[in-house]
Amino acid sequence: MPSQLSSEAQKDLHKFMAGLIERNPHEPEFHQAVQEVAESIIPFTLAHPVYRDAQILERMTEPDRIVIFRVTWEDDEGNVRVNRAWRVQFNNSIGPYKGGLRFDKSLTLSVLKFLGFEQVFKNSLTTLPMGGGKGGSNFNPKGKSDREVMRFCQAMMTEMYRHIGPETDVPAGDIGVGSREISFLYGQYKRLMNRFHSTITGKGLSYGGSLMRTEATGYGCAYFLKNMLEHRGDGVEGKTALVSGSGNVAIYAIEKLNELGARCVTASDRNGLLYDPNGIQDEKLAFLKDLKEVRRGSLAEYAEKFGCEFHAGKRPWSVPGQLAVPCATQNELSGDDARTLVKNGALAVAEGANMPTELEGVHVFREARTMFAPGKAANAGGVAVSGLEQSQNAQRLSWSREEVDQRLQKIMGDIHEQCVTHGEAKDGNVRYVAGANVAGFLKVADAMLAFGVI
Q: Which amino acids are annotated catalytic?
A: 134
Binding residue (CB under 6 A) for ligand 2IT from 174, 181, 269, 351: 174
Work out which of 217, 266, 390, 418 binds ligand NDP, going by CB under 6 A: 217
- Do residues 9 and 434 lie in contact, with contact meaning Cβ atoms separated by under 8 Å? no
226 binds ligand 2IT (CB under 6 A): no
Q: Which of ligand 2IT, ligand NDP, none lies near 136, with the C-beta cut-off 5 to 8 A by kind?
A: none
Cβ proximity to ligand NDP, 110 vs 248, nearer residue = 248
Tell me the closest approach of the beta carbon of residue 176 to ligand NDP, in angstroms.
5
Asked if 29 touches ligand NDP (CB under 6 A), the answer is no
* Per-residue burial over 79-90, b = 16 or more CB atoms within 10 Å of its CB, e = otherwise: eeeebebbbbbb
Q: Give the DSSP H or E segment for 372.
A: strand 371-373
The alpha carbon torsion through 16, 17, 19, 21 (nearest 10 deg) reads: 160
Q: Which does 327 bind (CB under 5 to 8 A by kind): ligand NDP, ligand 2IT, none?
A: ligand NDP
Strand 371-373 versus strand 348-350 pairing type: parallel
Residue 393 engages ligand 2IT in binding (rule: CB under 6 A): no
Beta bridge partners of 101: 135
List binders of ligand 2IT among 288-317 (CB under 6 A): none
Closest to 46 measured CA to CA, from 16, 2, 88: 16
**Contact call for residue 415 and ligand 2IT (CB under 6 A):** no
Assess 151 for contact with ligand 2IT (CB under 6 A).
Answer: no
Closest CA to 103 of 58, 62, 71: 71
- The amino acid present at 133, given as its one-letter code, is G
Residues 397-436 that bind ligand NDP (CB under 6 A): none
Q: How far is the CB of 231 from ligand NDP (least distance, A)?
A: 22
Residue 116 makes contact with ligand NDP by CB under 6 A: no
DSSP-derived 3-state class of residue 258: helix
* Residue 99's binding partner out of ligand NDP, ligand 2IT, none, with CB under 5 to 8 Å set by partner kind: ligand 2IT
For 61, 99, 187, 364, 368, the CA distances from 199, given in Å and listed in that order, are 25, 11, 11, 41, 43
Question: Is residue 173 involved in binding ligand NDP (CB under 6 A)?
Answer: yes
Find the shortest distance in angstroms from Cβ 442 to ligand NDP. 22
Scanning 15-23, 171-179, 304-312, 317-325 for contacts with ligand NDP by CB under 6 A, the matching segment is 171-179
Q: How far is the CB of 237 from ligand NDP (least distance, A)?
A: 25
Residue 222 contact partner, candidates ligand NDP, ligand 2IT, none, CB within 5 to 8 A by sort of partner: none
Q: Contact, 93 vs 62, CB < 8 A?
A: no
- Do 113 and 30 touch, CB atoms closer than 8 A? yes
Q: What is the C-alpha to C-alpha distance for residues 54 and 454, in angstroms, rounded to an integer?
A: 10
Scanning residues 43 to 102, which ones bind ligand 2IT (CB under 6 A)? 98-100
Residues with Cβ within 8 Å of 388's Cβ and at least 6 positions away in sequence, in order, are 128, 210, 399, 404, 407, 408
Question: Least Å distance between CB 328 and ligand NDP?
Answer: 3
Q: Is residue 164 close enough to count as binding ligand 2IT by CB under 6 A?
A: no
237 to 256: interface string for ligand NDP, x by CB under 6 A: --------xxxxxx------
In whole angstroms, give the CA distance from residue 448 to residue 221: 29
Using alpha carbons only, give the angle 41, 47, 48 rounded to the nearest 5 degrees. Answer: 80
Please report, as residue ranges, which positions from 178 to 197 form the binding site for ligand NDP (by CB under 6 A): 178
Taking the least distance from each CB to ligand NDP, the nearer of 250 and 448 is 250
* 316 near ligand NDP, judged by CB under 6 A: no
Contacts of 35 (CB under 8 A, 6+ apart): 13, 17, 359
Q: Which residues of this chain interact with ligand NDP, rule CB under 6 A?
A: 173-176, 178, 217, 245-250, 269-270, 292, 327-329, 352-354, 379, 382
Q: Which residues of this chain interact with ligand 2IT, rule CB under 6 A?
A: 98-100, 119, 122, 172, 174, 201, 354, 382-383, 386
